[in-house]
Chain A
């Protein structure tokens, strides 16, 4: 019973503080918080389109977040989802531009497979460097983000550029992920993300490989002494994680943009890190957290369109929630103290 009240108090503190910050930001922008709340909620639930948009935005976060969570649980601290998403998108573009006649669904499947491979390979670089030489993956994955971004920039001004146009972007791609809820933008990528949640959960909880990854994640040295191939595990974790991020990038490409452009990923690789953290590296948690973040984005976009509230509020609240979460111990302590004082 006591534990339960603490949980409730904690949830109240979190929502209370987040709402307070949101209110302040809205007031600062000169709008009415209540009106904004209405707009925010209507933006998400008010129309089929809004609701579908949440799922559209959740898909890449979910996929990349899953990939990152595998890494975190296996001791591979992957902050390179951003770059892996770009690499996935590049590979998918190359395959999609491939002028061969084949049924569209095969073409899309091939493009997605290529994206998985490319993202995986991109993560394999820091993975093998860590496994073999013990070089910190944090810096390497970070560097690879920028390299992938610049590589995209080079390619869409070069070999992948739309020859009929001067804009730095690829031609419109034929193969696409099928829409699943016309007329909204929701596409098959979301179903794929859901499927991946299930697969990752099964892999981590019910297979020997998942067990090994977790052992490596909590104690590499013991894993080695017990005969688990640590190098193989790190490579598996990094490639799998990178591959999922690659699919996330390709999903954005083939489901939404249909062209490779520089802003394609636009920071969701970093947000996905926070999604993994908020979801406690558990696939179902990642599912919930990605939808939560996506809802925040969609609601805030509506607020920007209708009320002129800066969309920056999304980044502010995202950062704020994670910082709160990091201060969890402190918040719990304050709650406990309150209770003791209250009892006295």
Chain B
């Protein structure tokens, strides 16, 4: 790919980017969120059309008008958000859109055999008769890879594939990648995790602010210099965590909470959070984290158990009542759960307090007071652009997140439930969010930090709990000597044994 340029309204996502990948290599594409990795890959795959620049495939200049062209050429892509159809079977998903022998009819036995042969060759075991909605995330990923291979992909693009895997699953996944490599396939691995790049890739291309910065052999580099290249400056300092303030009554206490969704138990947990501490919830995405956050905030109701908060039973309290008592919620899904994108910044900042005095008086909204409040939020959190009338949709991810923090966190917040608070943010915004959380902890708020990013958990938490399939595998005190392998195996489903030493 040479000189690729792609602009979206307001941003240049790719600015003369070059990328070259050889057959039989694993090529890592490294860059921060918003550096233009996904856009570049969507252009390669024919989903977006580049404004200028060209793509060369096996030495020839090509132009992919649609994914169909890219697939025909031998390019396969596994998106970060899987593109499988949940109501269809694995087999239907794998052959979707193909015109095979017998078209338009489907020769189920023949196709099943060939899929199974393929699965065996690459070590991707999966039951083709099951519906996709019955599969685990790891299995779905295997289906996605099989889907690409079944179409004869020689180059596989994998967008953040390990985000949904445990450390152990990641190891198995790397085995699959090595097997692909040995069969002569090329792989582009999009990631921002240094350790993985060092472990698996042959070469690495670094993207920053839409431009490619460097290409290097993985052997010739180290994580620190890669990080420096990716961010463009030294890593910002970690927020200061003051020593834990000691024992008080627990602020939040979950007792034998069970949450059921579609009659399946998604969460069964007991947990305490004390004032002035950060409890980190580690675990792979989709193991009950969201349910945990929502049951505390009152969005989901618990089918069993009780929630004690600040000396009271809030098991039956509504979302609004819990907010009034000081439970703030930072959701992992800004666009759907946290913000109303079609409303403006002022309205979004008011979403929690609009019906409180002085914003509502005698049943009427008070515009002036609302303006005052939003201006103070914008100033305090440096939200850009600082215009309260702007549509929320037009703000960057970092500023959207700041707006949420501004709205949720105030002096009254005693418990902050932060679910993946830095997901999708660049390093600068990430650090800002983390230091705000640390500040709140130091002020005396209790914080439940749910994150799939183990580094984040390790750098901020006082205590760490590991969640697997809706159950706690154990709770550890954080410390410099904590063994990450222990947490890793707990994330994979091994409960902490009694009396087990977790420190090196």
Main secondary structure of the interface of A (DSSP, over half): helix
Proximity bits, A211-229, B CB within 8 Å = 1, else 0: 1001100110111111111
Which residue of B299, B318, B343, B363 contacts A218 across the interface (Cβ within 8 Å)?
A: B343
User: What is the CB-to-nearest-CB distance from B326 to chain A, in angstroms, rounded to a whole number?
Assistant: 13
User: A263 near B: Cβ within 8 Å?
Assistant: no
Proximity bits, A46-83, B CB within 8 Å = 1, else 0: 00000000000000000000000000000000000000
Identify the closest chain B residue to A223 (Cβ): B340
B residues near A206, Cβ cutoff 8 Å: 364-365
Whether B351 pairs with A226 at a CB distance below 8 angstroms is: yes
User: B289 near A: Cβ within 8 Å?
Assistant: no
Knowing A221-B336, A226-B352 touch, does A207 contact B343 (C-beta < 8 A)? no
Which residue of B319, B331, B342, B343 contacts A227 across the interface (Cβ within 8 Å)?
A: B319
Question: Bound complex: CA of A227 vs CA of B356, how far in Å?
Answer: 13
Whether A208 pairs with B319 at a CB distance below 8 angstroms is: no
Question: Bound complex: CA of A206 vs CA of B320, how far in Å?
Answer: 21
User: What is the CB-to-nearest-CB distance from A51 to chain B, in angstroms, rounded to a whole number?
Assistant: 36
Knowing A219-B340, A222-B340, A224-B299 touch, does A207 contact B351 (C-beta < 8 A)? no
Whether B363 pairs with A207 at a CB distance below 8 angstroms is: yes
User: B286 near A: Cβ within 8 Å?
Assistant: no
Proximity bits, B313-325, A CB within 8 Å = 1, else 0: 0000011111100
Whether B331 pairs with A219 at a CB distance below 8 angstroms is: no
Interface residue count on the B side (C-beta < 8 Å): 30
Whether A207 pairs with B319 at a CB distance below 8 angstroms is: no
Question: Bound complex: CA of A221 vs CA of B340, how far in Å?
Answer: 9
User: B339 near A: Cβ within 8 Å?
Assistant: yes
Question: Bound complex: CA of A66 vs CA of B475, how far in Å?
Answer: 56
User: What is the CB-to-nearest-CB distance from B319 to chain A, in angstroms, rounded to a whole number?
Assistant: 4
Q: Which of B337-358 contact A (CB under 8 A)?
A: 337-343, 347, 350-352, 354-355
A residues near B320, Cβ cutoff 8 Å: 227-229
A residues near B323, Cβ cutoff 8 Å: 226-227
Knowing A208-B354, A208-B365, A211-B365 touch, does A221 contact B319 (C-beta < 8 A)? no
User: What is the CB-to-nearest-CB distance from B276 to chain A, in angstroms, rounded to a whole number?
Assistant: 26
Whether B319 pairs with A215 at a CB distance below 8 angstroms is: no
Question: Bound complex: CA of A211 vs CA of B359, how far in Å?
Answer: 12
Identify the closest chain B residue to A226 (Cβ): B351
- 5 A-B pairs with least C-beta separation: A227-B320, A227-B319, A208-B355, A225-B337, A218-B342
Q: Point out residues on A near B: beta carbons under 8 Å.
A: 206-208, 211, 214-215, 218-219, 221-229
Between A and B, 11 residue pairs with Cβ closer than 8 Å are A208-B354, A211-B350, A214-B343, A218-B341, A221-B337, A222-B351, A224-B319, A225-B299, A226-B319, A226-B323, A227-B323
